[in-house]
Amino acid sequence: MHKASFWQTHRQYALNTRQVNMLNILLTDFYGKLITKKWVVMTKCSIDTALRDINDLIEKGMLRKSEASGRSTSYEVAL
């Protein structure tokens, strides 16, 4: 139910395929913390591309950074 309302809320944003796939995974069956390295492995992209994707989603209000910073930075869906 929350997945449908999330997509309804953010339907105005244009996203690339990697972003859509990762958000769907995060909204359904993702366990643990999302870090940049996991994004890279799961989407088979470079670290720079992963950071661009993640920062774009943060700017759009779809993801948010965890309280920790530096090497401990993780991300979560902003519901």
The per-residue pLDDT for range 3-49, each reduced to its tens digit, is: 999 999 999 999 999 999 999 999 998 888 999 999 999 999 999 99
Helix, strand, coil: what percent of the chain each, to 5? 55, 10, 35
What distances in angstroms separate CA 50 from CA 2, 8, 9, 38, 65, one per listed residue?
Answer: 25, 24, 23, 9, 14
CA distance 37 to 43: 10
Q: Which helix (H) or strand (E) holds 77?
A: strand 75-77
Listed by start position, the domains of the chain span 2-77
Average pLDDT estimate for 40-61: 97
Average pLDDT estimate for 39-64: 97
**What pLDDT does 70 receive?**
80
The architecture that CATH gives domain 2-77 is: Orthogonal Bundle (1.10)
**Considering only CA atoms, which of 13, 30, 15, 56 is closest in space to residue 48?**
56
Report which of residues 72 and 63 the model is more confident about: 63
**Which pLDDT band holds residue 2 (cuts at 50, 70, 90)?**
confident
Global pTM value: 0.91
